[in-house]
Amino acid sequence: MAEALTPMMRQYRRIKGELPSDVILFFRLGDFYEMFFEDAQAAAPILDIALTKRNHVPMCGVPYHAVDGYLARLIRAGRKVALCDQVEDADASKRIVRREITRVVTPGTAIEDAVLESGRHNFLAAVVRDGDTAGAAFLDLSTGLFYGEEADARDGLPGVLQQAAPAECVIPAAAAEDPELRRAFREAGTATVSPGDDWPFEYEAAHDVLVRHFGVQSLAGFGCDGHPAIVRAAGGVLHHVREALRRDVGHVRGFRVRQAADMLLLDDATCRNLDLVPRPGARRETTLLGVLDVTRTAMGARLLRDWIVRPAADPDRVRARHDAVAALTEDRALLRDLRDALEPVRDLERLVARLGSGTGNARDVRAIGASLARVPALRDGTAAHPAARIRALGEQLRPLPELVGLIERALVDESPLTIRDGGLIRAGYREALDALRQTAAEGKQWLARYQASEQARTGIKNLKVRHNKVFGYYIEITKGQLGHVPDDYTRKQTLVNAERFITPELKEYENRVFGAQERAMGLEYELFQEVRQGVVEQTAAIQATAAAVAELDVLGAFADRALALGYTRPVITGGAAVRIKAGRHPVVEQMPDAERFVPNDTLLDCGANQLVILTGPNMAGKSTYIRQVALIVIMAQMGAFVPADEAELGLVDRIFTRVGASDDLARGRSTFMVEMQETANILNNATPRSLIVLDEIGRGTSTFDGISIAWAVAEFLHNHDRVKAKTLFATHYHELTDLARTMPGIKNYNVQVRERNGTVVFLRRIVPGGADKSYGIQVARLAGLPPE
Ligand code: ADP
């Protein structure tokens, strides 16, 4: 045993040596993937399997046919796994079987359903720093989505990372210690950072990889001109996935640079402060996504999430979406039909990605066929639609009838999970397969006849022809009948009550039937590969269909929400003002135990109403109000209808928020420090097209310092022409209401309360003027503080 192990162990060590040390090697031995040494020690507890020892080597293993489940558990635990398979037949020669790494799966490159969340992308990011600029690329291997973005390495990068929330980020090894990148990963919460080779991130090499992958002359069509850092990150990540991880990237068919100018930028703090999407482990219902997400498909759910954290800032695009939602709300029956037609469409993006990388099964192919079969109905529903955007999306849908027909003809309805054991191809699809199956079936009839004739010949009534894995076919005769056994039977095995025999006829039968069965399975596998190839060849068309389905789904969801929750169409103007009549907070108004929501108006512009100072007691509704304005702007720019009687706004380029005193000790910054960093970010980056929401600035320090800081911030926002952003400023400090006396662009408002018998009644109405007192005592009493 020890001798036999040595050359294999040498092979193991060589292959293990090709991998970074944090990758767990699954080493194929017969029907198992085995892990050794520290890999075994690390994996056994995560997989909940027994750790054993052979020749003092710790090891553990998992059966090959169940490998996906085990893989998923390790990936979810943040580990990386390399699969090493036998690449020649075990009995081909006496030497040790050749083995190679066939794929490496990491958190950022998982395509297994068991690891993925259907409603969100799973990105592998790459980041390259070029002086003050950072180029980032995001690749979702599970859907083929691939885009790049540029940002200021200090202020912008954490937000860009945060929005995509990549499961993993690869960087050139030389940048592993870059303090700016490390800070960005820490702030964005990017847990897995993987160093890769440096050279693929160099411009020439990266450019070359991209040009060749996409088969294009230049990258200008992707918007890459003038963004060398993005090209480096994108080429680097593609190379990393293909070469270092040995993964198939054929389904990655496009790349696009996201331009900041086309988007409403929301930084990390703003996404958190406004509860746009659920944070890990948090409740979904209390977020904007929770209120809006009535999408019917996984693709729609993912797109909606993207639109929430990246609303548009291109007026034509926003208006086209509003037109579409308006048209959809006008005909409820049509809307219902459209949404119902979407319901059975499966996750085309992920299915096609899986099949493209060679891991999908017949069920995946059938799911694609069944989904594409819905497309004609969807097209019919959109063909004469009054909204141009809906018609355009309808035209983007590709029904692919030949492919649907092929899948329907070739594959049985209830496909098995495995693709190597037969049972997936329909009878009548291919003559050669039918013939092999016929032979195998005739063999079975022969078997029944043979048993009957042997019973007659020997006179043994209970003679049975049976089969097991070890002996193949045999004849079983009970102890009492052994005297009647003829001479041409060969004894194979003795049991307590019976003996087992074989005969030459039986052996010959076995060869014939087994041969036929085995060849039938082989042929089925080949035929399946042909059908799979048929799908893969249509990758681009299926991806285009998936993108159209996603957008139809989101627009349909917007229309549904508009009708169900009483939202109205916002008007996008060319100006800078935000006017809202009877606006509501989309999430607070839905809280099941909430009081009746009191709507409020808003007027913000770059002139006399640039900065609103909102005062009022604790719990009056200040935070709710200032957030609701930001949320209405975000919803409008996503293309959705909004919770207001009327809303009219010029497009906003960025929304900044400073809400509450959120502790961020996990990331090593004190409350006050966080607050000042976020405030600095706002003052440095806001423009007259921005919207700023400030809640209780300066609370983390002494009252005097706090007022001074808040005062200076308000003055700065008001006085600097570069900034002059529309601002909502909720504060406790009544002193700030004095600002309005000297500054023409500052207006005071307060949240009305009434005092009745010594307690306060919140009216939730925002009215002009400063609050006269803060009712701190009354609120304390409401909260149940003892009178003393
Ligand atoms: P503040 O910021 O003034 O301390 P909040 O905005 O946190 O107050 O509001 C306190 C609570 O009052 C909220 O949780 C919400 O339930 C309720 N509330 C706020 N605004 C409204 C409103 N316009 N209509 C109904 N309830 C509201």
Residue 46 to residues 56, 72, 116, 535, Cα–Cα distance (Å): 22, 11, 18, 36
- The pLDDT of residue 597: 94
- Which atom of ligand 1 is nearest to 585's Cα? 23
Is 588's pLDDT higher than 50?
yes
Q: How many CA atoms lie within 13 A of 696 on its CB side?
A: 19
Q: Is the CB of 623 under 6 A from ligand 1?
A: yes
For a substitution probing ligand 1, which of 624, 659, 728, 762 has the most ligand atoms within 8 Å of its CB? 624
Higher pLDDT, 23 or 712: 23
Ligand 1 centre and the CA of 637: distance in Å?
25
Ligand 1: residue of 274, 584, 588 to mutate (most ligand atoms within 8 A of CB) is 588
According to the model, what pLDDT value does residue 776 have? Answer: 62
CA-proximal residue: ligand 1, atom 9 (nearest): 621
Strands, DSSP E only, in 268-317? Answer: none
Question: Mean pLDDT throughout 557-561?
Answer: 98
Q: pLDDT tens across 57-77, in order?
A: 999 999 988 888 899 999 988
Task: Determine the distance separating the centroid of ligand 1 and the alpha carbon of 753, expressed in angstroms.
Answer: 12
Closest ligand 1 atom to residue 600 Cα is 23
CB atoms within 10 A of CB 175: 18
As a whole-number percent, the residues of the chain with pLDDT over 70 amount to 94
Residue with tokens 């036998």: 86
pLDDT of res. 440: 83
In this structure, the strands spanning 611-615 and 646-650 are: unpaired
Question: Whose C-alpha lies nearest to ligand 1, atom 20?
Answer: 621
- The pLDDT score that the predictor gives to residue 271 is 87
> 161: Cβ below 6 Å to ligand 1?
no
> Would you state the pLDDT for residue 285?
86
Q: Is 284:145 a contact under the CB 8 Å cutoff?
A: no
Residue 712 Cα, ligand 1 centroid: separation in angstroms? 27
Distance of CA 634 to the CA centre of its chain: 22
End-to-end CA distance of the chain: 83
Measure 605 CA to ligand 1 centroid, in angstroms.
25
Residue 750 CA to ligand 1 center (angstroms) comes to: 13
Band (189; pLDDT cuts 50, 70, 90): confident
Highest mean pLDDT pick, 100-104, 299-303, 684-688: 299-303
Helices (H), 473-621: 504-537, 539-565
Alpha helices in 18-140, H assignment, sequence order: 37-47, 67-76
DSSP string across 430-451: -HHHHHHHHHHHHHHHHHHHHH
- Measure 642 CA to ligand 1 centroid, in angstroms: 19
Answer whether residue 490 shows pLDDT above 50: yes
Quick one: pLDDT at residue 2? 45
8 Å CB contact between 688 and 725: yes
Q: What is the structure's pLDDT at 779?
A: 63
748 CA distance to ligand 1 middle (Å): 19
Residue 618 near ligand 1, beta carbon < 6 Å? yes
Ligand 1 lined by 545 (C-beta under 6 Å)? no
Instruction: Verify whether ligand 1 is closer than 6 Å to residue 763 (CB atom).
Output: no
pLDDT band at 82 (very low <50, low <70, confident <90, very high): very high
Signed CA dihedral, 285, 288, 289, 291: sign only: positive
Please answer whether residues 401 and 375 qualify as being in contact, where contact means their C-beta atoms are separated by less than 8 angstroms. no
Is residue 615 lining ligand 1, measured as CB closer than 6 Å? no
pLDDT at 1: 43
Q: Is the pLDDT of residue 675 over 80?
A: no
Radius of gyration of the chain (CA): 33
Return the amino acid letter for 233: A
Q: Are 641 and 635 a contacting pair, CB within 8 Å?
A: yes
| Unique residue bearing structure tokens 């050749």 | 98
DSSP string, 747-781: EEEEEEEEEETTEEEEEEEEEES--S---HHHHHH
Name the least confident of 274-283, 416-425, 450-459, 668-677: 668-677
Q: How far is CA 550 from the centre of its chain?
A: 14
* 755 has pLDDT over 50: yes
Neighbours of 308 (CB within 10 A): 23
Statement: residue 292 has pLDDT above 60: yes
Q: Which residue has a Cα nearest atom 10 of ligand 1?
A: 619
For strand 133-140 and strand 124-130, is the pairing parallel, antiparallel, or unpaired? Answer: antiparallel
Rounded Cα distance, 676 and 667, in Å: 15
Residue 662 in this model has a pLDDT that exceeds 60:
no
pLDDT over 60 at 93, yes or no: no
167 Cβ inside 6 Å of ligand 1: no
Sequence-distant (≥ 6) Cβ neighbours of residue 152 within 8 angstroms: 132, 133, 134
622 lines ligand 1 (CB under 6 A): yes
b/e burial code for range 552-573 (CB count within 10 A of at least 16 → b): bbbbbbbbbbbeeeebbbbebe
Please tell me the distance from the alpha carbon of residue 630 to that of residue 407, in angstroms, as a whole number: 48
Distance CA 98, CA 114 (A): 30
Q: For the residues 610-639, what does the mean pLDDT come to?
A: 94
pLDDT tens digit sequence for 409-426: 999 998 888 888 888 999
What's the pLDDT at 702? 66
Task: Indicate whether residue 628 lines ligand 1 (CB < 6 A).
Answer: no
pLDDT at 663: 43
Question: Looking at residue 384, what is its pLDDT?
Answer: 87
Q: Is pLDDT above 90 for 618?
A: no
Closest by alpha carbon to 341, among 298, 388, 379?
Answer: 379
pLDDT for the residue numbered 665: 44
Note the pLDDT of residue 399.
Answer: 95
Average pLDDT over residues 157-177: 91
Mean of the pLDDT values across residues 658-682? 64
pTM (2 d.p.)? 0.86
Residue nearest to atom 12 of ligand 1 (CA): 621
Residue 400 has pLDDT above 90, yes or no: yes
- Report whether pLDDT(664) > 70: no
For residue 47, pLDDT beyond 80: yes
Assess whether the C-beta atom of 643 lies below 6 angstroms from ligand 1: no
Q: Whose CA is closest to 509, among 537, 474, 480? A: 474
User: Which range is least confidently modeled, 280-284, 324-328, 667-671?
Assistant: 667-671
CA 152 to ligand 1 centroid distance, Å: 36
In short, whether 621's Cβ falls inside 6 Å of ligand 1 is yes
Max Cα separation, the chain? 120
> How buried is 278 (Cβ within 10 angstroms: 0-12 exposed, 13-18 middle, 19+ buried)?
middle
pLDDT band at 660 (very low <50, low <70, confident <90, very high): low
Tell me the CA–centroid distance for residue 764 and ligand 1, in Å: 7
Expressed in angstroms and rounded, the spacing between residue 624 Cα and the centre of ligand 1 is: 5
Pocket test for ligand 1, best of 584, 596, 613, 619 (most atoms within 8 A of CB): 619
- Report whether 300 contacts 308 (CB < 8 A): no
Task: Tell the residue nearest (CA) to atom 6 of ligand 1.
Answer: 621
pLDDT at 272: 86
Q: For residue 693, give every residue at least 6 positions away whose Cβ sits within 8 Å of its Cβ, in sequence order, or none.
A: 273, 626, 627, 629, 630, 655, 656, 657, 658, 659, 727, 728
Dihedrals phi, psi of 297, to nearest 5 degrees: -125, 160
| pLDDT attached to residue 756 | 81
Residues 6 or more apart in contact with residue 300 via CB below 8 angstroms: 342, 549, 550, 551, 552, 553, 554, 556, 557
**With a 6 A CB cut-off, is 619 part of the ligand 1 pocket?**
yes
- Give the C-alpha separation, 463 to 776, whole Å: 96
701 falls in which pLDDT band (50, 70, 90)? low
Q: Residue 629 C-alpha to ligand 1 middle, in angstroms?
A: 14
Specify whether the CB–CB gap between 425 and 529 falls below 8 A.
no
Taking 90 as the threshold, does the pLDDT of residue 261 lie above it? no
pLDDT averaged over every residue in the chain:
89
Per DSSP, the residues of 205-255 read HHHHHHHHHHT-S-SGGGT-TT-HHHHHHHHHHHHIIIIIS----TT----
Distance 420 CA to ligand 1 centre (A): 61
Higher pLDDT, 671 or 444: 444
- In tens, the pLDDT along 230-246 reads 999 999 999 999 999 98
Question: What is the rounded distance in angstroms from the CA atom of residue 80 to the CA atom of residue 21?
Answer: 10
CA 597–ligand 1 middle distance (angstroms): 9
Asked if pLDDT for residue 587 goes beyond 70, the answer is yes
pLDDT of residue 666: 46
* DSSP strand pairing (646-650 vs 600-604): unpaired
Using the mean position of ligand 1's atoms as its centre, give its distance from the Cα of residue 579 in Å.
21
Nearest atom within ligand 1 for CA of residue 624: 6
The first and second tokens of residue 408, run together, are 């329907």
Inter-residue contact 371 to 408 (CB < 8 Å): no
